[in-house]
Structure formats: C-alpha cells, structure tokens
Amino acid sequence: MTRKKTLIIILIMLFVVFALSLTVRKSIALSSPLCITEVCSNNKNAAYDDNGDYGADYVEIYNSSDKSVNMAGWGLTDNKKDLYKYTFEDLIIEPGETIIAWCSPCIDDKSLYREDYVPSDIHDIPFNISKGEVCILTSPDKKYVQRLPIPYDLPDNCCYSSCIDDLGRYNISKATPHYVDETFVPQKKAKLEAPTFSITGGWYEGNIVVSLEAPKGDIYYSLNGSVPDADSYKYDGPITITNRTSEPNIWSAMGDIGTENTYIPDFPVDKGTVLKAIAISPNGESEIVSQTYFIGLDSYGYEDLPIMSVSMDPDDLFSYEKGIYVQGKVKDIYGEKMNLDPIEYIYDYCNYAKEGRGWERPVNIEFFSPEHQKVFEQKAGIRIHGGFSIAQNQKSFNLYSRPEYDGNEYFKYDFFNGNGNGYNKIVLRTGGSKDLFATKQRDAFCQSLVQGSAVGMQRATPCVLFLNGEYWGMYFIQEGIGSSYLHENYGVDEENVIIVKNNEVNTDDPKDMELYTSLLDFAKTNDMSVESNYRYMESKIDIQSMIDYYITEIYVGNADAFSNNLALWRVKTPTDDEYGDGKWRWLLYDLDESCGMITEMNSASSDSFIDGHWELNPLTDDILFSSLIKNKEFKARFIHSFEEMAEKNFDYESVHKKLSELSSRCKAADIKSQERFRGDFIISSYDPNEDFTPPYSEEDYDKDIAVIDTFFKERKEYIINYMKNDLGVTD
C-alpha cells in the first residue's frame, strides 16, 4: 500500500507541476504586452519573407496589449547563456499587430526604401530554430518574457503557434505569418481512402455518366478544377459529364497575370471537365483525386497532337498570396518598400518572377496521346519558367517529378520517343517572349537541326495544354536542362555533375563555380596562340562542343546568346566513362530570338560574328571565343566545322523539308493558340506584324513560317562570306 500511495502522490505532484507550468507560461505571456505567437522551423515552402523568398526559419511576435510597444532593447535568442543574440532596434508594434523575425540576411538595398516605409519583417537573426531547442524572448530590463521549447516532432513546414483565445498554449499548425488565429482549430488526423471513378478521363464524342465510390465518408466534388471541400457539391448519384465550352470562362478570365500582353479572351474557350473528388468524415478526409474528360470538342487545333491536362489548386495559380501566375502580393511588397523602375517590377518583383523550391506547387498531370488516348497520369510539381516571357499572359512552366508527390523519382512516360523514362524535369514552353505570338517553333526547330552534333540540345514535341479544364494553348514539351537530362543523354551519374547556367552553378559548393571562372581567367590572361596555353585549354574543355555551340548560335543569328542563355556542364569527379573526362561541354537553349525574329538584328544578311546580339560582340567581347580564335589550330577547326555544318545541318533543302513537316503539324494548333492569347498584340521589331489585324489567321501563320524559311534559304551565302571576312580567311 505504501508503494501504491507513493506512486499516487508522485503522479499528483507531477500533475500539479505540469498545471503550474502551464499557468506560469500563460501568465508570463499575458503579463507581457509582447509574446511569441508562431515559430516555424525548417521552412521549405510554408511562408515567404518580405522579399518573396521562402526557406528561412522565423519567429512571430505579437502585441496583445492596447498600447504601442517599442521593440528597442528587446532580445531574442536560442541560448539562455546569451539572452541577447539578437537585440531589436527602434521599431513600433501597434496593438494587435505582429512583426516577423527571420533567420536570414537582409538582401535589400535600404537606400531604395521609401521614406515612409516601416518594416514589419526583421532579418539577420543570428541563429536557426532547431527542433528540441528553446526560443527565448527577453525584455529590455533583462527579464525573461517567454521561454518556448520547440517540439522534437515539429514537422517540416509546420509551426508551433498560439491563438488569441489562449495565448501561452501552443499547438502544431500551418504557417500563418502576420496573422494570429482567434482560436485553435484541430486538424483532422484520419486519412480516408480516396474516391474511385467508374470511367477514366479521356476524349469522348458524347455525354458520359460517371459514378463515384468511397469506402468511408461523404463524397464532395467539383467540375471546374476548383478544390472540393464540405461546401462543394455533395455526391448523391451518378454525374453526367457534358461539353462545358459554352459556360463562362473562369480561369481564362483571370487578370493580374501579365504586364506585356494582358489580353483576356472575350469568348468562351474550349473546356474539358476536371472532376475532382474528396471523401470527408467527421474525423478525417482523403486526398483529392481527379479525372479530366473532354466531351464533344471540335477536332480543330487538336489533330495529331498530344494533350496534357494539368489540374491544381486554383489558389496556387491565381491567389494574391501564393499564386505563381499573377503579379500578386510580391509586387505590392516591393511597391510598399521601394521606388523601383516599372520595368523592374515587370520582370523581377512579381509572384510569377520568383524562383526556387518554395514557389513550386503540386499538380496532377494527365497525358493523352496524339490519338487522344490517355497514356499516363502522375502527380508532380510545377513552377513558372522563363525570363522576359514571364510578363506575358501565356507563360511557360517547369514540371518536376519527385518522390514526395507520389513516390516517383522520374516521369513514367517517354515524351521524346528515344531515351526512355529517366527525366525528373520537363519544360512546357510557349516560344519565348516574342515567338510565342508568332510560330512558337523557332527554339525547338533550330535545336533539332543540330541533333547529333557535339553541342547538347533539347528535344521537344508540340502539345496542347488544358489548365484546370480550360484550354491554355499550344506548347512544346521540352527536355529540361538538369542532372537527369545529362544522365539520359550522356550516361553520367546524376550526383556527379556540375552545371553552370547563366553564371549560376547547380551545386552548393563555390569551388565548383571556380572551376569555370578560373577557366575564363586563364583564357583572359594568357595568349592562346602559344601552344602550351592552348593545350591546357584543350584539356579543360571539349573543343568540338564549344565550336558547335558558337556555330549554331551564329548561324541562326540568335540575338540572346553568348553572355546570356549560356549553359555548360562537366562531371565533378572524373571517371572512365566516355564523358567522364572532366571537360566542359556546351548546351543549347532559348533560341527563340533568331531566324528573323528581330528584323534589324538577325535577318539572313546580318553579320552575327560581330553584331546582332543584345549584349556583346562575340568576336571581341566573348572571352573564350575571342581568345581561342587566335590559335591557328582552333581557327582552322572552327572554319572547317562551320563549312561542314552549313552543308550538313543547315542545308536549305533539308531545313525546308523539316520546317514544312513541323509547321504543317502545328498550324491549326498555333492559330487556335494565338486566338486565345494574342489579341491585338504587336510584336516589337518584327516587320511582318506592322500591319497585323486580329484575329490571327492562316495567312498570318504562313507569313511567319515564311520568315524562317527565307532566312535559311538566304543565310548560307551571307554567313559564309562574313566568316571568311571577319576571320581573315583567304581562298
């Protein structure tokens, strides 16, 4: 009995201590005007800072009083022996307001701040928030205000947060920076089995009837791509799927999606039906599942082309806070902070301009063959792709296959009829910033002409995209430059590659970038006419790959090359494989601004050795080319290769045949896509558009294709003569 009584007493004491700790913790929070209301550890894509950047841990501090509080002298730390790791400066928090303290550096040029800008985000917190550690808030008089232990089991992207109704009590929740919930709402834990469909998605001539089943819970569904919940249609029997094209546009009517061409269609676009369903019970819910049905659509614009249906949470595309397709909150964040040039806003300071994993959103892909048979379905991630093209109303996308979405490291389908299913990244490309409103084909077509050469190229195939059930135009599915691309095309280990793309390296090791910059430094400071110097360069780069890259860019007259849109790769640690020698090799991408796309810069008669480029003169300004061309051996090899590729790869009869085949296949799809997105937009610096009158027609398309055809028909004679003159070749 004594032992039993002792145990009971111990349990009572433990309970009392626990209760007192809660009371003390709460009373401390309530006695201070400031308290911690949210802590986020390992923030991958839970919340972004005042630059629109994800990734940093943060602490939210809330003023629960009815008076303003100056943060000057308050401290924040994760170490009780150093209570003022970070000391706040002069900053006022108004009643009911918050500030966010980020564990990341401030990257702003504060000299650009508006005079009236008052930050609500603080950077440069000199520690990260680790699970199992404590987060301590102290007052200016060196007193503890809060000592908040962070749970060991706090999931990635989740927060340890409090609510207004019970300050001082904490629960695991979603991130809501700058917003303190009134009360805590428990998250449903149970995971129900997802509903099943009686008919799979596909292309159907007439109406179909689809039944849904789920072992537990009620089924709720939507028909327009929106996310179903308990407020959606409740399933009570078979659903008849019809042609929705005559219904008003929803996603195609969204504004705030661009700044260059902002045209929104004033007619109902073609629509499929994305049937999304979820099972919900009082204790839990299932994942959302979907199938896309195309009912009774006219075949115009879809013949002989595959169709890709992408469905996702519309908020992930178009919402102010997190939509990747809109200008959104990021634009307003910078607008409040800084006086910036409007051009900077367009390309750098909008939601759609942000990069990185945090701006990747989950999607469901359904892919239909050119015969419109469904051939595969997969969950993936999606981001906006591109540079200047992001400001257009039709944007390009990157798609990523990741185990976290559905267990698949790679896409389960071979899009390119060749190297199998080893890609974890593909691109849905519109045609750049200019050609997307003309042929959309320049990049894919020009790259196809040098397939099999020593320069890497991206294979591509045209398709039609439906986004949340609405027609989104013609795209090219293209290989995405990355480690899986190199593995597929060169057989190298994905973990053993270095890629330098536009002066950024794909690894976290700065020494990898130095391997490239040291090469440039050597070329810049050493005379390549000296054989030993040239042999050193030959040991570091694949000479033929470099030559084929420069020949291609010069021949097609790509105005956006050399200093931009430049990609090289090598293995990090040399191996015995064919491409394991550690030499740098070149990759092509973004050849849109070529072949007469900019009339005054890259017509057939343009001398692309010395002009016709946005940034530089390749003969004198490009470090590698201008130095290596001084070497007789390199020069002779370049001239021979140039003449050989002019005869083989760019032979007009061959080019004309390939262009005719591709343009015929894409004609109806391109015209339909221009009707959807172009409106009365005039392509700058492109002569065939001086008298353009919408809608885009077959005649317009034929003129645009003729520009490419004429370029290659006339190009050879001009460019060979320029080569001889500019390089000092004597017959």
Q: Tell me: do 123 and 17 sit in the same domain.
A: no
Q: In angstroms, what is the C-alpha Rg of the chain? A: 30
pLDDT tens string 591-647: 999 999 999 999 999 999 999 988 789 889 999 999 999 999 999 999 999 999 999
CATH number for the domain harbouring residue 89: 2.60.40.1260
Positions of E strands within 412-511: 425-429, 460-467, 470-479, 497-501, 504-505
Q: Report the predicted TM-score, pTM, of the whole model to 2 decimal places.
A: 0.93
pLDDT band at residue 23 under the 50/70/90 scheme: very low
User: 508 pLDDT exceeds 90?
Assistant: no
Inside any domain, residue 185: no
Q: Dihedrals φ, ψ of 192, to 5°?
A: -85, 160
Q: Tell me: do 488 and 618 sit in the same domain.
A: yes
pLDDT tens string 634-686: 999 999 999 999 999 999 999 999 999 999 999 999 999 999 999 999 999 99
Q: Tell me: do 274 and 301 sit in the same domain.
A: yes
Inside any domain, residue 302: yes
Q: Which residues contact 483 (CB under 8 A, 6 or more apart)?
A: 494, 495, 497, 499, 506
Among 413, 447, 469, residue at a domain's last position: 413
8 Å CB contact between 372 and 203? yes
User: 17 pLDDT exceeds 70?
Assistant: no
Q: Tell me: do 15 and 1 sit in the same domain.
A: yes
Inside any domain, residue 725: no
Q: Tell me: do 341 and 200 sit in the same domain.
A: yes
Give the domain range for residue 630. 481-650
Query: What's the pLDDT at 184?
Result: 86
Kindly report the average pLDDT of the chain as a whole number: 93
Inside any domain, residue 513: yes
- Say how many domains are in the chain: 5
Inside any domain, residue 449: no
Q: Tell me: do 613 and 694 sit in the same domain.
A: no
Q: Tell me: do 405 and 502 sit in the same domain.
A: no
Q: Tell me: do 331 and 295 sit in the same domain.
A: yes
Q: Tell me: do 48 and 104 sit in the same domain.
A: yes
Query: What's the pLDDT at 211?
Result: 98
pLDDT tens string 510-555: 999 999 999 999 999 999 999 999 999 999 999 999 999 999 999 9
Determine the residue type at 215: P
Pairing of strands 460-467, 307-311: parallel
pLDDT band at residue 28 under the 50/70/90 scheme: very low
Look at residues 50, 42, 36, 59 and name the one whose alpha carbon lies nearest to residue 157: 42
Return the C-alpha torsion angle 43, 47, 51, 54, nearest 10.
Answer: 30
Q: Which of 61-65, 250-254, 418-422, 562-566 has the lowest mean pLDDT?
A: 418-422
Question: Distance between alpha carbon 241 and the CA centroid of its chain, in Å?
Answer: 33
Inside any domain, residue 659: yes
pLDDT band at residue 22 under the 50/70/90 scheme: very low
CA distances in angstroms from 708 to 207, 213, 597, 599, listed in the order given = 43, 53, 8, 11
**Strand (E) or helix (H) holding 670:** helix 652-677
Q: Tell me: do 676 and 588 sit in the same domain.
A: no
Among 630, 650, 670, residue at a domain's last position: 650
Inside any domain, residue 457: no
CA distances in angstroms from 312 to 53, 191, 403, listed in the order given = 22, 20, 18
Among 364, 393, 413, residue at a domain's last position: 413
Inside any domain, residue 55: yes
pLDDT tens string 278-322: 999 998 999 999 999 999 999 999 999 999 999 999 999 999 999
Q: Tell me: do 247 and 272 sit in the same domain.
A: yes
Query: What's the pLDDT at 2?
Result: 60
Q: Tell me: do 139 and 282 sit in the same domain.
A: no
